[in-house]
Amino acid sequence: MKKSILITDDLHPLLKESLEAHGYAVDDKPAITYNEVLEIIHNYEGLVINSKVPADKELLAKASKLKFVCRAGSGLEVIDLEYAAQKNIIAFNSPEGNRNAVAEHALGMLLNIMNNISKADKEVKNKQWIREANRGNELSGKTIGLIAYGNTGQAFAKILKGFDVNVLAYDKYLSGFENESSLETIFDQADVVSIHLPLTTETLYIIDYQFLSSFKKPIWLINTSRGKVLRTKDLLRAINERKVTAAALDVMENEKLNSFNTDETEIFELLIANSQILLTPHIAGWTHESKRKIAEVLLQKILAISF
């Protein structure tokens, strides 16, 4: 009997087609809801998710046959890793598939905020020809501080090599790598800070007002990792106090914009009103090329499992 795998998000068809060619039964249900998955998860040995359907304790408890759960992309915060381990369910992700996409997006956002590109675009479209107030800054000669040096941090460092910059990278759990630095050195020297942290209990709101106040110079800040590693109201305060020159955020604390409470609505209004803040809707790793690459990475990792 064929082993069954459930795909719960819109992934490249290569994954389903290739798994079926290797003898698996694959149900590709990109529109399925969390509650619908709860009703059928007991039928599957494998589960492929993104962010829409979290593999939390409730779901995993119903997954009586499940041998693995994998995340299309980088974050593992959508999987209850501790409970999965208790049930001997293998959990893994595919950051190799979209790391270059994230790096390119981070670079684009950085060049944008250093040169007022989006701000100037809006002004010209409103028939305002403002040059001096939009005088930019060159990336060449700047010191870039990377907070965490996993797949995306390393990919960003690689793409920065052609810009004549000094790259410093801090990672609490890695050592002996190129660009290795202490956090104190980054605080002292950085002109630009790019965040590449996973979201864990340890990193939750680790980038707060105290962190942002620790830099010797005003910084340009980029976050393409997870929204809840950065306390947004503290960023706004740091920008108002000129500790942060400008910020580019591809992620937010709450990305369900229609579910904002009063405080979240107030903060969002301040974000969109601030010309020193650039926002994109969690698309840094969201390219046509990365969609296929993620499927390729997941395929190889699934085929490597004996289940």
What is the reported pLDDT for 224? 98
Q: What is the pLDDT of residues 84-97, one digit of tens each?
A: 999 999 999 999 99
What is the reported pLDDT for 35? 97
Instruction: Give residue 223's pLDDT band: very low, low, confident or very high (50, 70, 90).
Output: very high
| Co-location of 296 and 206 in the same domain | no
Distance CA 17, CA 8 (A): 15
The CATH number covering residue 176 comes to 3.40.50.720
pLDDT at 135 over 90: yes
List Cβ<8 Å contacts ≥24 apart for 228-235: 228/199, 228/204, 228/253, 229/195, 229/197, 229/199, 229/203, 229/204, 229/205, 230/195, 230/205, 231/205, 231/207, 232/267, 232/271, 233/267, 234/207, 234/208, 234/209, 235/207
| Co-location of 154 and 240 in the same domain | yes
Instruction: Give residue 307's pLDDT band: very low, low, confident or very high (50, 70, 90).
Output: confident
Number of H helices, E strands in the chain: 12, 11
Distance CA 159, CA 170 (A): 17
What is the reported pLDDT for 75? 87
Taking all residues of the chain, what is their mean pLDDT, rounded to a whole number?
97
Q: What is the pLDDT of residues 227-257, one digit of tens each?
A: 999 999 999 999 999 999 999 999 999 999 9
| Co-location of 190 and 218 in the same domain | yes
Predicted TM-score (pTM) of the model is 0.94
Burial status of residue 162 (CB atoms within 10 A of its CB: 0-12, 13-18, 19 or more): exposed
pLDDT at 1 over 90: no
pLDDT at 43 over 90: yes
Distance CA 34, CA 50 (A): 12
HEC profile of 175-225: CCCCCECCHHHHHHHCCEEEECCCCCCCCCCCECHHHHCCCCCCEEEEECC
Sign of the CA dihedral 92, 97, 103, 108?
negative
Residue 24's nearest CA partner among 42, 47, 57, 40 is 47
Distance CA 121, CA 127 (A): 10
Distance CA 89, CA 64 (A): 10
Residue 114's CB: how many other CB atoms inside 10 A? 19
Distance CA 270, CA 78 (A): 29
Instruction: Give residue 306's pLDDT band: very low, low, confident or very high (50, 70, 90).
Output: confident
* Count of domains forming the chain: 2
| Co-location of 123 and 248 in the same domain | yes
What is the reported pLDDT for 130? 98
| Co-location of 115 and 263 in the same domain | yes
Q: What is the pLDDT of residues 139-184, one digit of tens each?
A: 999 999 999 999 999 999 999 999 999 999 999 999 999 999 999 9
Give residue 79's domain range: 4-94+288-303
Residue 229's nearest CA partner among 57, 75, 49 is 75
| Co-location of 123 and 243 in the same domain | yes
What is the reported pLDDT for 6? 98
Compute the half-sphere exposure of residue 209: CA atoms within 13 Å on the CB side of its CA: 7
| Co-location of 143 and 11 in the same domain | no
